């Protein structure tokens, strides 16, 4: 398949177009976006984000307007299969970023890190460069800024002119922020990466492979960050919503 000339293959979950591309195809698609200088917003979606969209029309519209929504959360992969619209594989945001680092180091792409605290994002930069010799990070800045400071942040990013912008902030200050300013930023690839900087920096650990295979990465994250419990309550709600929706489809 020529991923440079086609739109992403998708399935539709609750009105949101979810990518069916494999990791390899996703990287190829984003590579073509960088080569063509085509502004592309990538959302690494999970059930918590979907539940947020159900409750917030503006957030729902943002997901609908994104160029690529990859199934980052194992819960989305499960939901797609449960509703007989399977995706090819999970495309975890953290792994996608690592793949882009690998290709980017070879092709001299430039990256900008925005998010987390300054010490964490600086550590993430250092470790990324160590793991991927030749990686070019042209800027990094913490994610704790106010809407009044947006202009200064955008000015700094535009001046750095990266090929890839990684934004790691909260649910409401990450992907909606990219969507709001995507035209002013004009970056070929812009990705919301959630807590990836915390893992990249070594502050948090990634769940072991066996937990990822069993779709228990959320539990590993919760054990490291008990403060995430309130938002994790969205997970059973999402499961119930999927099951009820599936039953509704069967009755038609």
pLDDT digits (tens, 9 = 90+) for 17-54: 999 999 999 999 999 999 999 999 999 999 999 999 99
Q: Mean pLDDT over residues 152-163, rounded?
A: 98
The residue ranking higher by pLDDT, 246 or 45, is: 45
Q: Give the pLDDT of residue 93.
A: 94
Report the distance separating Cα 193 and Cα 157, nearest Å: 17
- pLDDT higher than 90, residue 213: no
- Three-state SS across 77-127? HHHHHHCCCCCCCCCCHHHHHHHHHHHHHHHCCEEEEEECCHHHHHHHHHH
Average pLDDT, the chain: 90
> Could you read off the pLDDT of 100-127 as tens digits, one per residue?
999 999 999 999 999 999 999 999 999 9
Mean pLDDT confidence for 204-220: 69
Residue with the larger pLDDT of the pair 35 and 205: 35
Calpha distance 60→137 (Å, rounded): 32
pLDDT value at 225 more than 90? no
**H or E stretch covering 19:** strand 16-19
Strand, helix or coil at 203? coil
Q: Say if residue 1's pLDDT is above 60.
A: no
Measured CA to CA, the distance from residue 15 to residue 46 in angstroms comes to: 15
Region 162-188: what's the mean pLDDT?
96
Specify the pLDDT at position 7: 73
pTM: 0.89
Q: Are 18 and 12 in contact (CB under 8 A)?
A: yes
Burial bucket for residue 2 (CB in 10 Å: 0-12, 13-18, 19+):
exposed
What confidence score (pLDDT) does residue 151 get?
97
């Amino acid at each position: 398949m020529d991923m440079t000339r086609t739109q992403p293959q998708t399935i539709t979950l609750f009105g949101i177009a979810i990518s069916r591309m494999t990791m390899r195809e996703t990287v190829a698609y984003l590579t073509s976006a960088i080569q063509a200088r085509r502004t592309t917003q990538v959302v690494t979606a999970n059930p918590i984000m979907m539940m947020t969209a159900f409750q917030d029309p503006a957030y729902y519209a943002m997901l609908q307007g994104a160029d690529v929504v990859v199934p980052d959360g194992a819960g989305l992969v499960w939901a797609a299969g449960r509703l007989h619209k399977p995706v090819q594989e999970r495309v975890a945001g953290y792994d996608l970023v690592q793949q882009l680092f690998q290709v980017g180091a070879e092709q001299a792409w430039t990256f900008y890190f925005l998010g987390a605290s300054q010490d964490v994002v600086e550590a993430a930069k250092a470790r990324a460069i160590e793991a991927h010799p030749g990686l070019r990070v042209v800027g990094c800045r913490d994610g704790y800024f106010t809407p009044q400071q947006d202009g200064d942040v955008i000015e700094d990013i535009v001046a750095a002119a990266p090929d890839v912008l990684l934004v790691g902030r909260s649910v409401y200050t990450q992907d909606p922020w990219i969507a709001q300013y995507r035209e002013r930023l004009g970056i070929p690839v812009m990705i919301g990466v959630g807590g990836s900087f915390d893992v990249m920096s070594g502050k948090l650990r990634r769940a072991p492979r066996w937990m990822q295979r069993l779709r228990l990465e959320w539990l590993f994250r919760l054990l490291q960050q008990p403060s995430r419990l309130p938002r994790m309550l969205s997970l059973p709600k999402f499961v119930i919503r999927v099951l009820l929706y599936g039953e509704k489809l069967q009755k038609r």
